[in-house]
Structure 1
Amino acid sequence: MSIQEISSFAAGEWVAPGEGARNIASAITGEVIATAGNSALDVQGMLDHARTVGGSALRKLTFHDRARMIKALAAHLGQHKQALYDLSFETGATQADHLIDIDGGIGTLFVFASKGRREMPDGHVYLDGDVEQLSRNGSFLGQHICTPLQGVAVHINAFNFPVWGMLEKLAPTLLAGVPAIVKPATNTSYVTELAVRIMLESGILPDGALQLVSGGLGDMLDRLNCQDVVSFTGSADTAFKLRSAPHILENSVRFVAEQDSLNASILGPDAEPGTPEFDLFVKEVQREMTAKAGQKCTAIRRIIAPENQVQAVIEALSARLSKTVIGDPRRETTRMGALVSEGQKRDVLEKAAILGQEAERVFGDPDNFEVDGADGGKGAFLPPMLFHCADPDAAQRVHDTEAFGPVSTVMGYRDLDHAVELANRGQGSLVASVITHDPQVARQVALGAGAFHGRLYFNNRDSIKESTGHGSPLPHMVHGGPGRAGGGEELGGVRGVKHYMQRTAIQGSPDILTAIGNQWVPGATEIEAPAHPFTRRFGELRIGETLRTEPRTVTLEDIEHFASFTGDTFYAHMDQEAAERNPFFPGRVAHGYLLLSFAAGLFVEPNEGPVLANTGLDGLRFMKPVSAGDSIKVRLTVKKKTPRNEEYGEVRWHVTVTNQEEEQVAEYELLTMNAY
């Protein structure tokens, strides 16, 4: 077998392994398959290239441009994923594991691309929150904005997910407009390198947006500044060493860590043997112990069950684990492959021995197990190992030692408060799960354990068919956790994008805020529409373009007809004496929805035109009642424009309804789809 040279991609050039390179062995056979590393990399040149070339190019793009770019990357990777599958087998991963890593990573790109188009503007400034009125008359306002950091994101990734681990960080980074330097774990860097080559060769990314370090970073972290970000996934010891470096602290370099996590799963007191929840619990634990050979930051390490159900859990779980076929991951019958390396296997055995000081191994003998289709003595294979801790209150190591492999420990709890206490003994985790059909059990755990866990996963017979599993971080939800888990936060949709941006408070006049955010702010200059705005196409409309209508008088006959026609005969509209007793009304008043209907009648252009559909309204408020004899008129202003596809875009209109005294009676935002 030829040995593959795993190169770095630095400042637009591929750099082969050189001084300081190290060998990489196959997890299946133990044979050297690759070499990676070059201590002579010009790390300053890489940083300069990212900041000046990559960052500049990305910041010129809008959020929607970047979202389209990310979607194109995902589609391109999807066309080449078979090559990634074929190579990834050497890491010990099975085909099912590839779906988590490779397909999961591609799926994450698609989600961020979609969220970028749906939840972010087609512009360069992200508005974070509502406008704050800082003066009596509204001439001085404030708002928070987010803009891209003008540095580089250094991503230091773990060995267990060479594709997903890169893409889940890369997606929000690129969407924010920040270039990335990716440093994968050396043991699986050959898979990451192939994924990077595929992306770069597509021509989709601007120059400098993505660079790769296969091997060590050298002194790169000592050259970072306040505009840079380090996002780290790995051990707590390494995270502490990196984040506490004087240069990182002195320059306030953002450091995001996702590290050791003793995740727990709680079997609810209602989930007795024979219930769907008990079977689900056993299945979830078995899957989390064996997927990726237990090498998942979200895997279940502590199994917390009612004391009277511990033996039943051990028996049921042992029965499922005994059916797990361990072997060459390329075989279709294999259900669990090898650990990533011989070194990782030794580490797991060392940690298992520590757990064995406080817990009894009740399933899985590392000295006596079968390996299908491979030499168990040469590859990094281990069986699933289940321990039982009879006294979890007195134990310490089962709550602070993570064997990063197919290892988990069962322990019993007396009551639900005790279960929560045991789960929290891990001092911070990425995820804790609760299998229960009792909503009050879920509530009690959420209140008691929420502060110690980045994600709480609840599942039962109602959600089992569509649930994604205890160990699946989703791009829509935050991934991270307090304390031992690193105190960091990734993913979470747009929340993850904002980690690579600076939040800035801006203050000024309505016109200033409108210009910065490209979104009309009440009080800003209004532009007189050259024609009815509903006759103007999406591209013709301008932010601030305003239509003011003639007034319409609301009569008692209108109110009674609306009540009769709709069936809304609420007393405030129909009974004068009852309405007068209500502290909010002077007497009989018009229906709020009658006012909305009349408002639409005042501003709508009825003929066929570029307005394709009314898709809803947001932020509706009724501020002052309207009585019979009052008149209303409408101000309709283009607040925001968001392209949706090549045929139409979304227009957000600010609508204000006022009475004859120029007092606001209603306010809302109207959404329409307008043709280009």
Structure 2
Amino acid sequence: MNTPDEFKPRPRDNVLPYEAEVARMAFTNARTALRAHSQLSTKERLAELSKLKQTILAHRSMIIARVMEEVGKCRTDALVAEVLGTLDWLNWLEKNAQRLLKPEKVKTPITLLGKQSLLLHEPLGVVLIICPWNYPFHNAITGIAASFVTGNAVVYKPSEHAPCKGLIEQVLACSSVLQSLVRVVYGAGSLGSALIEQQPAKIFFTGSGPTGSKIMAQASRELIPVELELGGKDPMIVFADAPMARSVAGALWGGFTNAGQSCSGVERLLVEHSVQDRFVDSLVKEAQKLVVRVGDNGDADVGRMTVGFQRDKVIEHVQDALNLGARLRFGAVPSANSLTVQPIILDRVTPAMRVWNEETFGPVLPVMAFTSEAHAIELANDTHYGLCASVFTADKQRALRVAGALEVGGVSINNVNMSEGNPGLPFGGAKKSGFGKLRGPEGLLGFTRSKAVLIDKAGSKIEANWYPYTPRKFKLFERFIQALYGPRRLRLLAIAWHGLRLEAFSQKPRK
């Protein structure tokens, strides 16, 4: 019989010999280092991360300059997103990691009376972290720090489009332990494939959906677990009762921060129909004040885009929208010869336009009106993405109601991108925005393997559920289960009575 194409064996990924050797050496060195440092306690690892935190703080100007040069961020974006966000995460680990990673006592049910239960959080081994180009420092250190403090070693591959070569190694040089346990490698997607061939304990990937799909397919061949943080088409919903000035300011920053190259940035702006015209007019007025410039001294709002192919997608999406009847309220179709893109605002947008249903990942705000709360939720959820969302309203109950109905991983109420800003909250998406979490307790424990431990006393006692099985024991078990779970007065007395009879009978030898 013919096999459908999707089930036919696929050829191995095209990996160059030198890439295979780079990957092999990275994992060999990481595994050797892990064996050498496997006895480090969480407290000792946190001491090394404290050195890293102080190093980042002391060398923030150098980090900002490198990121600005390579990625094109404005200076304030680089300071806040790359430096502050990273320090915040390291600080959270210092305060919480020891508590979260210590063995947990778990309540033991009455059916296991006399026993103790523990949950251990153990390292995975050598993990592979692959990061994108939009936040090259913050994404790298966030994953590396979480992996390191949980007891793992790391092979880290940055995007070839913004590798910031040597930057991560430079800050990790503050600690010989970090230097040993973190191996940084540089290369294109084929190197990523070579790294997966080395069978990491787990893969943590942040980036595009198509690349995430390829990584997952390759990892599945060896049953390697993966966590994927992929794209977004995040909606911002503005109700008529929301404060106008704050909502406009939030939309501008949410849509244009990092030149729109943020997976949790605002990509769809939904405004209640009764205030839409006034809102868009105000949005345009405030957008006119934005300063767009490369290499600023802290006096610019938006820098340049990072890569040409992303700028080209902005051109395609905006041109498609205009061809289908959208109105250009601010900005212009970008030039194909420059990475500096003026922020763009579009209204009269419809769901048929690519700018509304595909991830743009650039400084473009498409606006659409909604007529009711239910309509807003319907429009917001009408996408295969589900990363984050924002809801602006003066009605707290409505805000919580809408937040609960949105099919996303995080919601900011009367703010934008801030569910991601708290290091104590997990960050990750739903639907095709990926699965798994970064940050927060859930994200930290994603770098561990849980081990269940049950402790019993040493002695001669025979367990009730062990052999021999007899009709008499069956009846005693039935009565004990009925006492445990059935409706009955004097339940505790009944449980004790039938439990003791079962225990006593279980100690008798088989005749």
**2:140 match: secondary structure:** helix
The separation in 2 between residues aligned to 1:382 and 1:197, in whole angstroms, is 32
Q: Secondary structure of 1:408's partner?
A: strand
Residue matched to 1:364: 330
Q: Secondary structure at the match of 1:405?
A: coil
CA contact (8 A) 1:261 1:430 kept: yes
Name stretches of at least 5 consecutive residues in structure 2 with no aligned partner: 1-14, 460-491, 493-511
For 2:226, what is the secondary structure of its paired residue? strand
Higher strand share goes to which structure?
Answer: 1
Question: Could you tell me how far 1:499 is from its partner in structure 2?
Answer: 0.9
1:453 maps onto 2:408 in alignment: yes
Q: Identify if the C-alpha distance between structure 1 residues 270 and 319 changes in structure 2 by more than 3 Å, giving closer, same or farther.
A: same
Check 1:183–1:86 CA distance in 2 against 1; reply closer, same or farther (3 A cut).
same
Match of 1:234 in 2: 207
Secondary structure of the corresponding residue to residue 161 of structure 2: helix
Identity %: 22
Q: Tell me the alpha carbon deviations over residues 472-525 of structure 1, each in whole angstroms, 9 at most, x when there is no partner.
A: 433211111111211231112x3222111111222231689xxxxxxxxxxxxx
CA contact (8 A) 1:168 1:475 kept: no
1:377 Cα deviation from its structure 2 partner: 7.9
2:450 equivalent among 480, 503, 507: 503
Contact 1:480/1:489 (8 A) holds in 2? yes
The CA deviation at 1:391 is: 4.3
Between the aligned partners of 1:424 and 1:286, the Cα distance in structure 2 is 22
| Pairing of 1:322-471 with structure 2 (within 5 A) | 322-358=288-324, 360-367=326-333, 379-392=338-351, 395=352, 397-449=354-406, 452-459=407-414, 469-470=417-418
Is 1:292 aligned to residue 258 of structure 2? yes
More divergent stretch after superposition (169-178 vs 382-391): 382-391
Tell me, yes or no, if the aligned pair for 1:351 and 1:402 is still in contact at 8 Å: no
Task: Tell me if structure 2 keeps the 8 A contact 1:298–1:430.
Answer: yes
Residue 108 of structure 1 aligns with an amino acid whose one-letter code is W
* Counterpart residue number, 2:284: 318
Residue 90 of structure 2 corresponds to residue 109 of structure 1: yes
What is the DSSP-based 3-state SS (H/G/I as helix, E as strand, rest coil) of the residue aligned with 1:478? coil
Secondary structure of residue in 2 paired with 1:293:
helix
2:489 maps to none
2:111 corresponds in structure 1 to 135
Within the candidate set 58, 75, 78, 1:95 is matched to: 75
1 or 2, which has the higher helix percentage? Answer: 2
Aligned-pair distance for 1:61?
A: 1.3
Question: Quick one: distance in 1 between partners of 2:453 and 2:100?
Answer: 21
Does the CA contact (< 8 Å) of 2:348 and 2:368 recur in 1?
yes
Alignment of 1:62 with 2:41, yes or no, is yes
Superposition pairs of residues 544-623 of structure 1, within 5 angstroms: none
Q: Please provide the CA RMSD for this pair.
A: 2.7
Q: Which residue of 2 aligns with 1:541?
A: none
Aligned partners of 2:391 and 2:412 also within 8 Å? yes
Shift of 1:398: 4.4
3-state SS, counterpart of residue 503 of structure 1: strand
Partners in 2 of 1:285 and 1:82 — Cα distance?
A: 29
Query: What do residues 340-372 of structure 1 show as CA deviations (whole Å, max 9, x unaligned)?
Result: 12332222212333444556143334358xxxx
Return the match for 1:265 from 229, 232, 236: 236
Taking the aligned partners of 2:175 and 2:344, their CA distance within structure 1 comes to 46
1:212 partner letter: V
Q: Please point out which of 51, 57, 61 is paired with 1:72.
A: 51
Please say if residues 265 and 300 of structure 1, whose CA atoms lie closer than 8 Å, have aligned partners that are also in contact.
Answer: yes
* CA distance in structure 2 between the aligned counterparts of 1:440 and 1:73, rounded to whole angstroms: 42
Opposite residue 429 of structure 2, the aligned amino acid is G
Secondary structure at the aligned position of 2:163 is classed as: helix
The whole-number CA distance in structure 2 between the counterparts of 1:158 and 1:80 is 23
Q: Could you tell me which of 148, 153, 170 is aligned with 2:123?
A: 148
Q: Who is 1:562 aligned against?
A: none
Return the structure number with greater relative CO, CA threshold 8 A, min gap 6. Answer: 2
The residue type paired with residue 81 of structure 1 is: R
Once residues 413 and 495 of structure 1 are traced to their aligned partners in structure 2, the CA distance between those partners, rounded to angstroms, is 35
What TM-score, normalized by structure 1, do the two folds share? 0.61
Change (3 A) 1:249 1:46: same
* 1:198 is the counterpart of 2:171: yes
* 1:159–1:359 distance in 2 versus 1, CA, 3 Å: farther
1:622-666 per-position Cα deviation (integer Å, ceiling 9, x unaligned): x9xxxxxxxxxxxxxxxxxxxxxxxxxxxxxxxxxxxxxxxxxxx
Structure ID, larger Rg? 1
Aligned residue type for 1:489: K
Give, in angstroms, the shift of residue 231 of structure 1.
Answer: 0.8
Q: What amino acid is the match of 2:233?
A: L
Answer yes or no: is the 8 Å Cα contact 1:133–1:142 preserved in 2: no
Superposed counterparts of 1:517-536, under 5 Å: none
Answering whether residue 135 of structure 2 is matched by residue 169 of structure 1, we say no
AA of the residue aligned to 2:442 = R
Cα contact 1:340–1:380 (8 A) shared by 2: yes
- Gap change, CA 1:365 and 1:152, over 3 Å in 2: same
**Is the CA contact (8 Å cut-off) linking 1:108 and 1:167 kept in structure 2?**
no
CA gap of 1:202–1:421, structure 2 versus 1, over 3 A, is: same
Structure 1 residue 50 and structure 2 residue 30: aligned?
yes
Closer, same or farther in 2 for the Cα pair 1:237/1:40, shift >3 Å?
closer
The residue matched to 1:260 in structure 2 has which SS? coil
Q: What is the TM-score when the length of structure 2 is the normalising length?
A: 0.80
What's the CA shift for 1:448? 1.6
Match of 1:160 among 119, 134, 139: 134
Change over 3 Å in CA distance of 1:471–1:316 after alignment to 2 = farther
- When the two structures are aligned, how many residues end up with a matched partner? 442
- 1:422-458 CA-to-partner distances (Å, cap 9, x unmatched) read 1111233221111112122113203321xx1111111
Aligned letter for 2:299? Answer: T
